[in-house]
Every structure is written in C-alpha cells, then in structure tokens.
Amino acid sequence: MSKIEIMDEVLANKIAAGEVVERCMNVVKELVENAIDASSTEIHVDLIDSGIKEIKVTDNGIGMDKEDACLAFSRHATSKLKKIDDLFHIDSLGFRGEALPSIASVSDVTLKTSNGEIGTEIHISGGKILSVENGELRQGTSVLVKDLFYNTPVRLKYLKNLYTELSHISEYIHKMALSYPNIKFVLTNNEKVLLNTDGSNRLLKVIHDIYGLSVTKKMIEIHEENEDYEVFGYISYPEIAKSNKNRITLLVNGRYIKNNEIIRIIADSYHTYLPPDKYPIVILKIEVDPILIDVNVHPTKMDIKFSKMDTLKSLLNETIKKKLEHLTLIPDASLETTVIGQETKISTNYTPKSYEEFDAKKKEAEFQEFEKMTLDFENKKTYEVSENSTDFEKSTGFEKQEREEVRIKKMYPVGLVHGTYIIAENEDGMYIIDQHAANERINYEYYLEQLSNPKKIQVDLLIPISLEFPTEEYVILKQNFYLLEDMGFILEEFGFQTIVIRTIPIWLPKGNEERAIQKIIEIIIDKESFDMKRFVHMVAATVACKASIKANDHIEKKDMEVLLERLSNCQNPFTCPHGRPTIITYSKYDLEKLFKRSM
C-alpha cells in the first residue's frame, strides 16, 4: 500500500501560511500589495485591536469579476506570472499566488470586489468557501479578515501584545506610503486615525506626515544614476541620527526590502559624520531593471538579491558623500529646532474646546509651516545654473559660487568656558566649539593624508623603543610587520616576543610616540578581517586623539584663532573622527528670542 499521498489543499495552505503569515503585519502587507498591484489610488487599512481581532483593507483598484474572485483563493493562482520567463522580469509586488489562500486558511475572510460591471461577495473560513453571492458595484476590493489564527492556537499565542503588533503594521504602512506618495493611505486602529496621506505624489509631504516638521526640515534630497541603477530620495542631516536602523527605508522598484549590505553602505557614507552606533534617517528609492534583481528569495519577498552590487555601492557612496560635503552641518543649539517632535507654535488668540480641536489646529499650523518650507526648498532649487557648473551642481540646482564658499564663515573667539568650550561669534550668531573635538578633526585629516600618501619622511630615535607581547599577539603582529613598515617604521625582532623600533615616521605626535605606537599595534592585533581603508582611519583617529588638546587645557586667544582658522579649512569641520559635533550654534535670531528681544 502506498504511503505517499497528495496533500489536502487546506492542509497545504496552512503549511504555506506558516511562512507567509507570521503576524498581523504579514496579512496587512499581502493585502496592501494586492491593492497596489490593482492600480489603486486610495487604500484604507482599518484595524480592530491592532489587527488581532479584525483587519480590513479597502481599495479603489480595478477589482475582479466573480470567476477571478473565486479563483484567487486557490493556491498558486495569480494574474502576474504567465510563463517561466516572467519570473526574471517581475514588476509587480505580488506574484506567488500564496497570500489569499494562506490567510484564508487561518482566519475568517470576507471578500467584496467589483470591476464596475458586476459585484461579488465571498465568505471563506478556515480555507473552506462558505458562500459566493452577488455584491455591491463599488469599484475596487475590500477584504475583511477576522479572528486570525483562530484554528492554530500555537500561532495565536505567539502574537505579541497589541502595541507590538500595531507598531509592526504602522512601520510597514509608513514604508509603503513613502514608496508610493501618489497613493492615499489611511491607517486606523479602533477608529482612531494613525496616518492619512493625501496621495499628491509629494514625497516630502509624506515624510512630514510620518516624521513631523522638525525632521522634514533636516532632510536632504538626493538623485543620481549610472548605467545600472537610479537612486533618489532623502537623507537626513547627521544631527537627527537615531540609535537603530529602523528609520532607513529601502525601496527597490516600489518594493520595501530589508538589506543589511545596503544599510552598511549608507552608514559608511556617513563615516565620521556620525558615531559608529548611530544611523541617519533615510528614504532611499532604487530603480533597476528587474532582470538585475531576484525577488524570489523568500515567501515574504522582503529580501532580494542584487546583480552588480559593486556599481550600486559606488553610486550610493559617492552620491551621499558628495551631498554631505556641500552642506553646512552645524547643529542649531536652539531647543525649538533640535528637539524632534517639537510642538508647532499655534496662535494663542483662541481656546480649544477639545483635544480633537487642538490637534486639528496644531496640524493646520504645522502644515502651513511645511508648505512655506517646501516653497523655500523649491525656490532654492530654481537658482540659475552657470555654464561652468559641474554635473553635480547642475543636478542639484545650486550655483557654482555657492560651492566655492567656505563651509564655515570666519569666527572670532571671545573666550573659553570650563577650559573646554571656545565661545566665538560672527555676524550670523554665536558658536560653541569643543576644543578637543575641533583639534581632533584637524589632526585626523592631517594624519589621514599622511597615511594615505606616505612620503616615508622618517626620524631616527636616540633611544629605541622596545615592546614585548604575549605569544598569541606576537604571532599576529609578525604577520603584519609590513603595515608598520609601509607607514614609515623601521623595526627588528629582538628575541622571540619582543620588537625594537629604531625609526619612526615624522608625523607621529611628539612626546607621545610610544603610546601612539602601542595603540597602532593594538589595532593591528585586534582586527578580525583586514580592510586597509578602515585600518588607516582607525590609526589616524587614534593618533589624532593622542595629539590633540584635551578638555581643561586652557589656551590663549591667539591659539583659539589659529584653531578656528584651521578648523574652517577642514574637509569636514563639523564632527570629530568619532562622529561627535565639533561646533554648535545659536543664530542671532535665536538669541534675540531667548532674551525676548524678538517675539
């Protein structure tokens, strides 16, 4: 008797649901993607108890006739793939034909759809169709999912609390709203509106709706392309960085993805602008020929494989770095501009009758400020571009003379606070400079230049430096003697675990040579996988720190002037090598507001 049998379709769908439907967010994701593929311009997602009790997704797309509506609940039924070659040219969000049958197998589903000519209503529970009836003629589709995982108690128990489930759904809807600013998205939970975009195809407006005005003010537009990829979107000023990667939104051909390699490329592009444990807010759209990517990696379709990743890496790196290098990145110390989620000023000539009225008034005031900001942004982009401008300047719309201006205007020191912070001024306002961070940035760029272009200018030591190491460290160091030699050190082995250094490069900080050498050797020994660029950075940063003025080192005014002049000539004068700010500012207007001279 045969032991192998064809699996029951309901059972097969339940198994598939284990991969496709892990939580409430996965249901929302699949239904929203279907709505987008149906050419919808408006999508409503209505939740009861964060989707655990009820999820309803309504769109105004092309809808389905009765035959297609019934067939949609069959496994591997799809309108998006016809032949095997289509798998290499996927331009839709869905294509597997697993979502609806998987969802229906673990919940109670009511589908209402119409193509404008005929309406259909289908009720299906636990994967079994209970009824198929004629329905209303409203163009589009509505899918109501109730009692998710009611017949799989283990999976139901796995669901987190209401706030966690709502957080995952909100995050996903935010990503899709950013990906499709031309679609109006409305998200509600227990009849409370959480997101309502206008579908006006203004990405900056969607950023405002999601993150608020204070973040929107600190976003920078990018747009570049090469033969394989086109990238565009917004990156944030370093000052509003976050402690996790969740605010980096990656969208490939309209599909929200998660890709650690691209996130690492973005983080590396902010090298020395941010501390290693901080990440910018980024909305990055990548357009690419579908043949260069593989989206058929996982049932959730959130992980994809890229061909020609090197060209994408260089495009992203160059685009972000070039944009940051053309901006003045001095954080404003004014509380009203540095606190994310700040309150928008509302006229005090009225008293709100309810929270709803106050919230509406606040949003109206915030939107008016956003509109003004957008107008200023657009006006800035319409500057006349000279014929001598570079391609980059032409693409960003900034005049050549703007690029040639120094990134920091000349500052005049007036004193020192706590032996650490230089107070300076110019016609624009007041500046506070961390003398150690500023000197560290100056020294870092100097040592980086020396290490990147070694001239082998050396000096012999009157008293050689002898260093001894444990056996395991000495073995690693001996394999990497060439790194020290390339930097200009002349050394020799002295016994089994000891080296003697007789000559050092001239750039090594005077009076602190031995400690600097020890730190360099620590970097060589501790490195897990060698990367010359990162190694040079670490050495330059380490030596710069040792050679810089420390906190509580009182310096004279003339020394402050030299320090500020050298800082203004740096390639990146705004942060130290570790990503901490070197300088913050109070504008003249901020000062006048603080002292009530300007209301």
In this prediction, residue 156 carries a pLDDT of: 64
Please report, for the domain that includes residue 168, its CATH number.
Answer: 3.30.565.10
Residue numbers of the domain that contains 386: 343-402
Q: Per the domain annotation, does 226 fall within a domain? A: yes
Q: Which residues of 121-136 are buried (b: 16+ CB within 10 A; e: fewer)?
A: bbbbbbbeeeeeeebe
Q: DSSP for 121-173?
A: EEEEETTEEEEEEE----SEEEEEEESTTTT-HHHHHH---HHHHHHHHHHHH
Q: For residues 233 and 370, state if they share a domain.
A: no
Give the side-chain half-sphere CA count within 13 A for 188.
13
At residue 307's C-alpha, the angle toward residues 302 and 309, to 5°, is 90
Q: Per the domain annotation, does 127 fall within a domain? A: yes
Q: For residues 286 and 170, state if they share a domain.
A: no
Six-digit token pair at 82? 């016809």
Domain's final residue, options 144, 170, 196: 196
In this prediction, residue 533 carries a pLDDT of: 76
Q: For residues 456 and 545, state if they share a domain.
A: yes
Q: Per the domain annotation, does 539 fall within a domain? A: yes
Which residues, 6+ apart, have CB-to-CB distance to 220 below 8 Å? 234, 235, 236, 237, 323, 327
In this prediction, residue 518 carries a pLDDT of: 84
In this prediction, residue 307 carries a pLDDT of: 82
Q: For residues 310 and 393, state if they share a domain.
A: no
In this prediction, residue 401 carries a pLDDT of: 33
Using an 8 Å Cβ cutoff, are 225 and 231 in contact?
A: yes
User: In sequence order, what E strands does 202-361 have?
Assistant: 219-225, 229-236, 248-252, 255-257, 282-288, 293-294, 305-306
Cα distances (angstroms) measured from residue 498 to each of 466, 481, 487, 515: 7, 13, 20, 16
Q: Per the domain annotation, does 321 fall within a domain? A: yes
Using an 8 Å Cβ cutoff, are 206 and 188 in contact?
A: no
Q: For residues 371 and 386, state if they share a domain.
A: yes
Q: Per the domain annotation, does 242 fall within a domain? A: yes
Rounded CA separation 559/574 (Å): 19
Q: For residues 359 and 384, state if they share a domain.
A: yes
Q: For residues 411 and 398, state if they share a domain.
A: no
Rounded CA separation 464/514 (Å): 10
**Range 203-206, long-range pairs (CB < 8 A, 24+ positions):** 203/178, 203/233, 203/234, 203/283, 204/234, 204/374, 204/377, 205/181, 205/370, 205/374, 206/177, 206/178, 206/181
In this prediction, residue 302 carries a pLDDT of: 64
Q: Per the domain annotation, does 2 fall within a domain? A: no
Six-digit token pair at 252? 């490939």
In this prediction, residue 412 carries a pLDDT of: 94
In this prediction, residue 177 carries a pLDDT of: 95
In this prediction, residue 5 carries a pLDDT of: 53
Q: For residues 24 and 58, state if they share a domain.
A: yes
Domain's final residue, options 171, 196, 221: 196
Q: Per the domain annotation, does 526 fall within a domain? A: yes
Please report, for the domain that includes residue 469, its CATH number.
Answer: 3.30.1540.20
pLDDT, block means (10 residues), the chain with 599 residues = 53 48 87 91 95 93 88 64 48 61 87 91 88 89 88 64 89 93 95 94 93 90 93 93 89 87 92 90 91 65 77 93 88 54 41 50 57 54 38 33 60 93 93 94 89 75 87 84 84 86 82 81 72 78 86 90 93 91 90 80
Domain's final residue, options 132, 161, 196: 196
In this prediction, residue 439 carries a pLDDT of: 94
Q: For residues 25 and 125, state if they share a domain.
A: yes
User: How many structural domains are present in the chain?
Assistant: 4
Q: For residues 131 and 184, state if they share a domain.
A: yes
Rounded CA separation 77/74 (Å): 6
- CA Rg value for the chain: 30
Looking at the DSSP assignment, which residues form a beta bridge with residue 432? 423, 584
Q: Per the domain annotation, does 79 fall within a domain? A: yes
pTM of structure: 0.73
